[in-house]
Structure 1
Amino acid sequence: MKIKVILGSLILFAGLSVQSHAGDPGASKGAGVRDIKVTSPARDQDLDVTVWYPAAASGDIVPVGADRIFQGTDAFADAPMRPGTYPLVVFSHGSGASIHKMAWLAGKLAGKGFIVAGPDHPGTTSGDSTPEDTPKLWQRTDDLSNVISALLADPDWGKVIAADRIGVLGFSLGGAAALELAGARADLEAYARYCETYPDMADCVWFAGGRGYRNREAIEVAKLDLRSVDKARFEQSNLDPRVRATVLVDPSLVLAFDEASLAGIRSSLHFINLGDPETVPASVKADRLAGLMPQATHSWIRDAVHFSFLPVCADGAHEFMQLVGETDTLCTDGSDRTRIELHEELERNVTDAFQRMLEAGN
């Protein structure tokens, strides 16, 4: 979770370059990208939402997510959509990151025939992230459901989305939110006991206080007592019955979900852990969790680590992180396999799961 320290302290999206191309093979195989606003009544503000979609491979190319640390992923900005009707996948990013950092995977899914839409979650996104906001999963689930509703109601998006084929994809804290959207309910006391048992886990270290971010400025934050979190909101059901398929990558809170609620989930789920059974941290190790649900599968991405889900690092990233005092190994993976190779396996794994669960073609 310390990823929020480095990502929160940088202006990540300054100066995206735009190039004009027609059918450039370097783009994400016909992935279009569009930034939109979605009003959130619950938050009383607009959400920044990015949508990737199957597009005609022409127009201006933008490297989405490029900054001093990570490479961007090319997509066609505001390109015309390819004719057809497509499944919708809503995407929830990890704590302290942003949806633009998920472009490497979202663009691939769009190229395979999915519309992928993800919000930046206020309070747990890059430059706006605090321990106090982190456990408020009910806000994240509302964001995701709100994006689904807004797109289905939109006269343009609504006519190209297959409303009966909706999935959700989540990474880390986004994985916990995705699981709640499928019907899981969290247990606040179990979460508090987890941090008492595993105080060195990244999320528990984050709750211990120190530094957070507001308006891209570092702020000092006090230790968070998890038992002070709104228990009723934390434990409420956030089920969205429109969701048919869920893919969860290293989901957080795996030791804090009510098992009875898991047994009642009837939609399809696929869990992915980044690493080997012996190396995945207890905070996200989901094989046992998957076994509690009637329609869940699980797989391992061998030799990966939690940060392998982040984009490929840019040239000079190591030196830049040293310059700003970042100690996390954001660019280091678990073996001789490159992050590009790990991403290729992840792309296949996620795409195959959604195609199977949503009965979607290429």
Structure 2
Amino acid sequence: TDAAMETTATTTTATRMAAVLAMIIFALAVCAPASALPESYSQQGGFTVTTTVMTAPRSEGLGLPVQCTVYYPTSAGSAGGRCTDVASCYMQSMSTPQDAPVAGGPFPLVAFGHNTFISGQEVYGSTMRHIASHGFVVVASNSRYQQPAATAVDLVDCVNALERQQGEPGAKFFGKLDLAKGVGVLGYSQGGAASLDTAARLGDR
């Protein structure tokens, strides 16, 4: 019947349009530049990670030095400091000696604020190691302060110490930090509040 023929024609047209649309979407996906696909930070990054502990002069308070733990990509380990999956990255990082050489860089700097009564490396070491595996230098102060403002002072002092090394020939982090876009901050609980205070103290840095 005419109605049946009309329905068939409509269905055929819709099918063809769907096929054409699918081809257009496929072509756009193929032609899109690789940079349009963001890196997945939920997976382990490609760098082997190690740590170093450094001290920084405290700018406020009792005057005792601040202990800073730094997680960073290293050129030590197999594959020239890079690994290909979670298991190999973890094993490389665990077997990499502390204070190993810093990888080529430069790397963005991130300051991490821990929660009350917990120093950074005790609970959040795996978190900071994960961030560093994506090509970041991550620093945490090992203070026991209960006030966000006091923790923020320590974090700023740690950042200052690393920035001094950035410009000091022969220092471990000489020329290894990418500070062009500023310093990133993050934290948990009290450390979250401390990270906001840290950002305010750092200003445009």
Structure-1-length-normalised TM-score: 0.36
State whether structure 2 residue 132 is matched by structure 1 residue 110.
yes
2:103 to 65, 79, 82: 82
**Structure 1 position 93, deviation (Å):** 0.7
Aligned residues of 2:71 and 2:138 also touching (Cα < 8 A): yes
Aligned residues of 1:38 and 1:150 also touching (Cα < 8 A): yes
Aligned residues of 1:33 and 1:75 also touching (Cα < 8 A): no
Q: CA separation in 2, counterparts of 1:56 and 1:158?
A: 15
State whether structure 2 residue 185 is matched by structure 1 residue 168.
yes
Q: 1:137 to 1:75 in 2, by over 3 A?
A: farther
Determine helix, strand or coil for the equivalent of 1:90. Answer: strand
Aligned residues of 1:87 and 1:163 also touching (Cα < 8 A): yes
Larger Rg: 2
**Structure 1 position 242, deviation (Å):** 3.8
State whether structure 2 residue 134 is matched by structure 1 residue 153.
no
**Structure 1 position 158, deviation (Å):** 4.3
| 1:285 alignment counterpart | none
**Structure 1 position 96, deviation (Å):** 1.2
Q: CA separation in 2, counterparts of 1:171 and 1:74?
A: 24
1:143 to 147, 151, 154: 154
Residues 43-73 of structure 1: CA deviation (Å, up to 9, x unaligned): 30111111011102439xxxxxxxxxxxxx8
**Structure 1 position 176, deviation (Å):** 0.5
Q: Specify every segment of 5 or more residues in structure 2 that has no aligned partner in the other structure, as ranges.
A: 1-45, 79-92
**Structure 1 position 180, deviation (Å):** 2.1
Residues 297-350 of structure 1: CA deviation (Å, up to 9, x unaligned): xxxxxxxxxxxxxxxxxxxxxxxxxxxxxxxxxxxxxxxxxxxxxxxxxxxxxx
Residues 170-211 of structure 1: CA deviation (Å, up to 9, x unaligned): 11100011122334xxxxxxxxxxxxxxxxxxxxxxxxxxxx
| 1:240 alignment counterpart | 202
Residues 201-350 of structure 1 aligned to structure 2 (within 5 Å): 239-242=201-204
Q: CA separation in 1, counterparts of 2:110 and 2:95?
A: 17
Runs of 4+ in 1 over 3 A off after TM superposition: none
Aligned residues of 1:92 and 1:99 also touching (Cα < 8 A): yes
Q: CA separation in 2, counterparts of 1:139 and 1:240?
A: 14
Instruction: Give the structure with the larger helix fraction.
Output: 2
**Structure 1 position 108, deviation (Å):** 1.1
Aligned residues of 1:86 and 1:162 also touching (Cα < 8 A): yes
| 1:40 alignment counterpart | 58
Q: CA separation in 2, counterparts of 1:173 and 1:142?
A: 13
Q: CA separation in 2, counterparts of 1:42 and 1:179?
A: 18
Instruction: Give the structure with the larger strand fraction.
Output: 1
| 1:52 alignment counterpart | 71
| 1:177 alignment counterpart | 194
Q: 1:97 to 1:75 in 2, by over 3 A?
A: farther
**Structure 1 position 41, deviation (Å):** 3.0
Number of residue equivalences? 139
Q: CA separation in 2, counterparts of 1:88 and 1:146?
A: 14
**Structure 1 position 85, deviation (Å):** 0.4
Task: Give the aligned CA root-mean-square deviation in angstroms.
Answer: 2.5
Residues 65-94 of structure 1: CA deviation (Å, up to 9, x unaligned): xxxxxxxx8363111111120100011111
Identical positions, percent: 25
Q: CA separation in 1, counterparts of 2:135 and 2:60?
A: 31
Determine helix, strand or coil for the equivalent of 1:42. Answer: coil
Higher RCO, 1 vs 2 (CA within 8 Å, ≥6 residues apart): 2
Determine helix, strand or coil for the equivalent of 1:164. Answer: coil
Aligned residues of 1:164 and 1:242 also touching (Cα < 8 A): no
| 2:9 alignment counterpart | none
Q: Specify every segment of 5 or more residues in structure 1 that has no aligned partner in the other structure, as ranges.
A: 1-27, 60-72, 125-133, 184-238, 244-362
1:121 to 118, 143, 162: 143
